[in-house]
A = this chain, B = another copy of it.
Amino acid sequence: MMRIDNLQYANWSEKIFRQMREGGVDAVHVTIAYHENFRETVLNFERWNRWFEEYPDLIMKGQWADDVNIARETGRTAIFFGFQNPSPIEDDIGLVEIVHTLGARFMQLTYNNQSLLATGCYEAEDTGITRMGRQVIKEMNRVGLVIDMSHSADRSTIEAADISERPIAITHANPYEWSPALRNKKDDVIRAVTENGGMLGFSVYPHHLRDKSDCTLQSFCEMIARTVEKFGARHFGIGTDLCQDQPDSVVEWMRVGRWSKEIDYGEGSASAPGFPPMPSWFNDNRDFDSIEAGLRATGLSDAEVAGIMGDNWHRFYAKGFTPGS
């Protein structure tokens, strides 16, 4: 059974790469930009090049779906790159192909705020995809850079799913119905994404969970089973949003970037400004067995569980990453 986590943003180290191997994780989509501009993002590609050079027995650069098979056969984890903001392409549509050539495979059209392309979920209103956004979606479709709407507002997400000629993704979020966080997704949003062949990765980031850090594994897995029943098992996977070993200064960068002189607490608050504690049943890459067991306990079939644990993302990679016609 293939195992793919389609969103992590850890403070990377040999320890974490070894935990990926212990947890049998064949591929991880890692975030390499929150607010970085193009040049800063290139520095992050460079950092990963050094890690690939330093830990060739543990990790390898992932570019195509088949790299997951190669990683699996050679006992490594394939690392795929993505951005949580279009900041790496700045105002330049020509950078879409450049970042794909460098290895980027997912790009959010917005983080929490309005971008040049679409509206983020923290803005008061949402006008959908902008003039530049329509051009960039077409170019992302052409080169094989997947549109990720995890942090985008509802209308923008539905429009992106409709405008895009290739399936789009919500790499890390949960249904709003289960846990009404601003970042979670209402049924009409999930429907628009999945009906167009897209996928959603279930998140274990506590702010996206019912009862936050106190969420039980059973509640999480039953939510998955109900969602799968409603929208079809093939459209779902895991995107833990694991932010392991990150200092709280990093969550401040994620939330405030360079756009405000005032602190914005995002999903946190003045009394709890940092990263929230993880639920007891998921702390690092060694804990995927417990999610898999929890999914089986809900009565999902072996094929459904295999799909959610990795096969669905693998199939999506095969369709999404190659240049279009």
Contacts and interface: CB of A to CB of B under 8 A. Distances in A.
A116 interface: yes
Looking at chain A's contact residues, is the secondary structure mostly helix, strand, loop, or mixed? loop
Nearest to A259: B132
Interface string A259-286: 1111010000000000000000000000
Interface residues of A, number: 32
Interface in A116-175: 116, 119, 122-128, 130-132, 135, 139
B127 A123 contact: yes
A91 B262 contact: no
Contacts of A113: 116, 130-132
A194 interface: no
Given A37-B90, A87-B91, A127 B125 contact: yes
A154 to B, nearest CB: 14
A127 B127 contact: yes
Contacts of A50: none
Contact of A132 (B131, B139, B260): B260
Contact of A93 (B115, B125, B259): B259
A179 to B, nearest CB: 23
Given A94-B258, A116-B114, A258-B92, A130 B135 contact: no
Interface in A201-224: none
Nearest to A115: B116
When all copies of this chain in the complex are counted, the total is 2
Nearest to A130: B114
B124 A127 contact: yes
B115 A119 contact: no
Contacts of A261: 93, 135, 139
B132 A114 contact: yes
B126 A131 contact: no
A37 B182 CA distance: 32
A127 B126 contact: yes
A76 interface: no
Contacts of A128: 125
A276 B124 CA distance: 40
A135 B91 contact: no
A131 B91 contact: no
Contacts of A125: 127-128
A257 interface: yes
The 3 nearest A-B residue pairs measured at CB: A92-B258, A114-B130, A125-B127
23 contacts: A35-B91, A37-B90, A37-B91, A87-B91, A90-B258, A92-B258, A93-B258, A93-B261, A113-B116, A113-B131, A114-B130, A123-B127, A123-B131, A125-B127, A126-B127, A127-B127, A131-B259, A131-B260, A131-B264, A132-B259, A132-B260, A135-B259, A135-B261
